[in-house]
A and B are shown apart, each in its own frame.
Chain A
Amino acid sequence: MRRKYILFLIPALLFLFWGCASSDAMKDSDAEPAAEIQYPDPDPEISFLLDTYRESLNEVMGSRVAVVTDTIRFGQPESPLGNLVSDAIRYRAGSELGRFVNIGIIGEISFRLFLTPGDLTLGDVLEFMPYDNHLVVLTLPGYKVAELAHQVADQGGAPVSGLRFRINDGRAAGILVNSQVLDRNRDYLVATSSWVANGGDRYPAVWEYTDRIDLTDVDVRELYIDYFRSRREIHPITDGRLRN
C-alpha cells in the first residue's frame, strides 16, 4: 500500500520540480539538484530474463572458496581486511619470485565488498576484487619506502603488510620494515597490483621505483581466490602494525 501511495505521489512531485530545475538553474552547477529516490518494483520481464541466466551463474559462482568466521571489514588505522589483502599479495609475490618480499601495499579503493560470516563463494571473491590486475613487484629505495609510509599515514592508515609504524599528526613515526628499523639507504621489494603501480591509487611513492617486475601470469583476483582457498577458514586478525 505504502509503495503505491509513493508511486502515485511521484508524478505530482515531478510536476512541482519542473519549474525548479529550469534552464536558468542549470547555468549554475551549484544549484540544488532535482534528485529523487526511486524504489520501483523490479520490472517483471527483465527480472524473468535475468533469472533465466541466473541458474548457470549460481552453479559456477556459488562454489565455496572458504568459510568466514566473523565480519571482516576495512578500517583505519589498521583493519583485519586490510591486513588480509596486503599480506596475501606480499606472500604470493615471495613465493612467485622465490625471494623474500618486504612489503605489500594495495588500497581499499580496489575492493568492493567486506566479508560476512558464512560461506565465501567464488562469486563473492570475484565481486570483492572486480577488475583484472596482475601482481607487480617494485624495487624501492629506503627513502621512498619512508615516503610511502608517510603517504599511508597521511590517509590515516591503509592496507599494508611488512611495515609497522605509529601515525603521529599524519606522519609515520618509528617505521619498522619486517621488524627492523627502516634503512633509508637500502633497497626493498614492494608487492602491489598493476593498477596501483600504474598510478591508479594514492601512493605516489611507488611510481618512482628503481626496478619493476610484472608477474603478468598472476591475476590478482586469482591470487585472492587461491589465498582464501588455502586458508579454508578466515578470521579477522589485527596485529598493531599501524597505530595512532
Chain B
Amino acid sequence: MISRKEFLKQTAYLAAGSALPFWLGENKSSSNNITILYTNDTHARLDPFPDNAVEFAGLGGIARRASLVRQIRREQKNVLLLDAGDVFQGTPWFDMYGGKVDLKLMTEMNYDAMAVGNHEFDRGPEGFAEAAQKAGFPILAANYHVQNTPMNPYVRRLLVKDFGGFRVGIFGLGIQLDGVVPRELHGDVRYRDPEAWARGMARSLREFHRCKYVICLSHLGYSYRDARIDDIKIAQRVEGIDLIIGGHTHTFLDNPVPVTNPAGKTTLISQMGHGGVRLGRIDLNLSERNSPFGTSSRFYTIGKEID
C-alpha cells in the first residue's frame, strides 16, 4: 500500500520519463481515473435529519458522509472533494458556531474547495472570515469583488489541482447579492457579471494554467424561467467548462444534464439537492479517448440502515 503522496510522486516520475503523459497511456488501472465527489447546500446539517423532519428523516450526517468518502479514497487514488456553497445556516449548529464546525470538519475530510453561497453572508463578511479561519481549503468566487473586506484573505477565484501532470481547473461563481443578501450583510462585497467571469476563468484555466478539465462550482441555481442567470445559461453561453457542480436551488439531479456549449462541446450540470442527503460522484477515465474523457456518474443517498 503506498500513500497518495508517494503515488503522485511516482506517477509524476513515470510521466516525465515516458514519451506520452500517463493519462494517454494504455494502462487502465484506477490511476488513470479522477473521481470527483461533491455536495451542495449542506446547510449546517452535521447530524442526520431528525426523526421528526418533514423530509429526509434519518438521512445524511457529516460523519457518515466522511466514512463513505474515506471508503472511496481507499478505492480511488485521485479524488477531488468539492462543495457548491451554502454550508452555513439551517440547524442550531449554525446558530451556535456560525459555520466554524462545518468548515473544520470539511477540512478534516480533505475537501479541496467550496463555492461561496448566499447563506455564507448570514453573519456578514466578518462572520464569514471568522469561520473561514477554520477552512484549510480555498473558498471560490470569481465574480465577487472582496478586496478591502474581511473576506479577502479567504476567497479566491480559482484553483488548479495537478494529478501527475493532468491539471484540473476549478473556479467558483456566486449569486447576485441584490434582493438575495441584505445590504448590511454583504457590506462592501460586490457582485460582478458571472457570465463574463466564467468566460475569463475558463480561458485562463485552459490557456494560462494548461488545465485539461475545467469545473465550475456555481451557486447561481440550476434553472430559472425568467432572465436570471443560472447554470443552464452559463453552460449554453460559455465555452471551456466541462462540468458545473451547482447549488442554491436545492435541485436533485439524478443524472448530470448535458448542455451543448458555444464550442459545440458538452458541459455537464449536476446538483445534489440539499442537506447532505446525497453525495455526487463523477469519474473521469483518462485513458478513454472519446470526447472529452470517458465519464461515468452516480450518486449515493446517505442513510441509516433500516431494520
Residue ranges of A at the interface with B (Cβ–Cβ < 8 Å): 2-3, 7, 11, 14, 17-18, 21-23, 25-31, 33-43, 45-47, 49-50, 53, 56-57, 60-61, 74, 108, 111-116, 122-123, 126-127, 130-132, 198
> Does B156 have its Cβ within 8 Å of any Cβ on chain A?
no
Min CB–CB distance B185 → chain A (angstroms) = 9
Which of B13-21, B186-194, B210-218, B296-304 is near enough to bind chain A?
B296-304
Cβ contacts under 8 Å, B93 to chain A: 53, 57
Look across to chain A and name the residue whose beta carbon is closest to the beta carbon of B43.
A130
> Does B122 have its Cβ within 8 Å of any Cβ on chain A?
yes
User: Which of A3, A112, A126 is B305 in contact with, Cβ under 8 Å?
Assistant: A3
> Does B89 have its Cβ within 8 Å of any Cβ on chain A?
yes
Task: Find out whether the CB atom of B68 lies under 8 angstroms from the CB atom of A53.
Answer: no
> Does B152 have its Cβ within 8 Å of any Cβ on chain A?
no
Task: Find out whether the CB atom of A39 lies under 8 angstroms from the CB atom of B303.
Answer: yes
Min CB–CB distance B294 → chain A (angstroms) = 5
Cβ contacts under 8 Å, A57 to chain B: 92-93, 96-97
Task: Find out whether the CB atom of B108 lies under 8 angstroms from the CB atom of A45.
Answer: yes
Task: Find out whether the CB atom of B298 lies under 8 angstroms from the CB atom of A36.
Answer: yes
Known: A35-B298, A127-B92. A29 touches B258 (CB 8 A): yes
Query: Which 6 pairs show the lowest CB-CB distances between chains A and B?
Result: A42-B63, A34-B298, A33-B254, A43-B66, A43-B67, A123-B92
Can you report 17 residue pairs joining A to B where beta carbons are below 8 Å apart? Answer: A2-B305, A11-B75, A23-B290, A28-B255, A33-B297, A36-B300, A38-B68, A38-B300, A38-B303, A39-B303, A43-B67, A46-B108, A50-B47, A57-B93, A74-B54, A108-B54, A122-B92
Complex Cα distance, B67 from A42, in Å, reads: 6
Complex Cα distance, B105 from A104, in Å, reads: 40
Complex Cα distance, B56 from A141, in Å, reads: 39
Look across to chain B and name the residue whose beta carbon is closest to the beta carbon of A81.
B54
A-B contact sample (19 more), CB < 8 A, given A36-B299, A39-B304, A130-B43: A17-B298, A21-B298, A23-B295, A23-B296, A26-B296, A34-B296, A40-B64, A42-B61, A49-B105, A50-B47, A57-B97, A111-B54, A112-B54, A113-B50, A116-B52, A123-B92, A126-B92, A126-B95, A132-B122
Cβ contacts under 8 Å, A18 to chain B: 296
Known: A43-B64, A53-B101, A113-B52. A33 touches B92 (CB 8 A): no
Task: Find out whether the CB atom of B70 lies under 8 angstroms from the CB atom of A43.
Answer: yes
Complex Cα distance, B108 from A33, in Å, reads: 30
Task: Find out whether the CB atom of B92 lies under 8 angstroms from the CB atom of A40.
Answer: no
Known: A43-B67, A46-B109, A61-B96. A35 touches B299 (CB 8 A): yes
Min CB–CB distance B158 → chain A (angstroms) = 25
Task: Find out whether the CB atom of A50 lies under 8 angstroms from the CB atom of B46.
Answer: yes
Task: Find out whether the CB atom of A35 lies under 8 angstroms from the CB atom of B254.
Answer: yes
Complex Cα distance, B257 from A3, in Å, reads: 33
> Does B90 have its Cβ within 8 Å of any Cβ on chain A?
yes
Interface centre among B46, B63, B70 (most CB of A within 10 A): B63
Cβ contacts under 8 Å, B101 to chain A: 50, 53
Task: Find out whether the CB atom of B91 lies under 8 angstroms from the CB atom of A47.
Answer: no
Known: A29-B258, A33-B254. A56 touches B96 (CB 8 A): yes
Cβ contacts under 8 Å, A21 to chain B: 296-298
Task: Find out whether the CB atom of B258 lies under 8 angstroms from the CB atom of A33.
Answer: no
> Does B62 have its Cβ within 8 Å of any Cβ on chain A?
yes
Complex Cα distance, B294 from A111, in Å, reads: 42
Known: A33-B255, A46-B63, A131-B90. A112 touches B297 (CB 8 A): no
Cβ contacts under 8 Å, B172 to chain A: none
Query: B85-128: contact bitstring with A at CB < 8 Å (1 yes, 0 no)?
Result: 00001111101110001001100110000000000001000000
Look across to chain A and name the residue whose beta carbon is closest to the beta carbon of B62.
A46
